[in-house]
Structure 1
Amino acid sequence: MSGQVRADFAILPRTPPDTSTVDVVATNCGDPVAVGLRPVHSDLMNDSGRGGHYYWCTRHHRVETDADVCPAKHVLGPYPSAADAENALQKVQERNEAWEAEDARWAGEGN
């Protein structure tokens, strides 16, 4: 095992539970090497308080809401409005064209 480092990590909840920090214990072959508090972001990653979201379903070719959304592999979004979701494919096409033009510029094809 020469030249290899093994590190195990454990995240331990504080007692009583505290949503702002957790104890982090790192070990190297069982010996503690770092102990401390790390901040934890406990908010949801979406802004679920703003109401529903809209998605464009690439399988059904329609706008879907949080209530009837297909699996993530079939949708684009979320979008703040049904109109934004309905225009998702147009936005994808515009971005693809811009990226392709940028790639061509970088490759020296557009000079």
Structure 2
Amino acid sequence: MHSDVMSSSGAGQYYWCLSHHRVETDADKCPAVNRLGPYGSAAEAERALERVEERNAAWDAEDERWNGDQS
């Protein structure tokens, strides 16, 4: 058996803390209400707010198309 094999049960997860504006891990994460994630890497967590903005823009554009608000 290999003792260095990580399980897929949450090991190595990263979060973006909305309170502290930093990447956090399972060892030091803030309450769920204050964080985004989990993400598979620190780099993904660092991009969390950028991804939220991209998705919101896409959803806003879709709402405009749905509502017929485009000029």
TM-score bucket (shorter structure): 0.7 to 0.9
User: What is the deviation of 1:81?
Assistant: 0.1
- The TM-score with structure 1 as length reference comes to 0.55
Query: Once the two structures are superposed, what CA deviation does each residue of 1:9-62 show, in whole Å capped at 9, x if it has no partner?
Result: xxxxxxxxxxxxxxxxxxxxxxxxxxxxxxxxxxxxxx316x310000000000
- The TM-score with structure 2 as length reference comes to 0.85
1:85 to 45, 56, 63: 45
Structure 2 Cα separation of the partners of residues 61 and 102 of structure 1: 29
Q: Name the count of aligned residue pairs.
A: 64
Structure 2 Cα separation of the partners of residues 83 and 68 of structure 1: 17
Structure 2 Cα separation of the partners of residues 97 and 90 of structure 1: 11
Higher strand proportion: 1
Higher helix proportion: 2
Give the residue type in structure 1 aligned to 2:38.
P
- Unmatched segments (≥5 aa) in structure 1: 1-46
SS in 1 for 2:12: coil
1:68 match: 28
Percent identical among aligned pairs is 66
Moved over 3 A (4+): none
Of structures 1 and 2, the one scoring higher in RCO (CA 8 A, sep 6+) is 2
SS in 2 for 1:48: coil
2:5 match: none
* Greater C-alpha Rg: 1
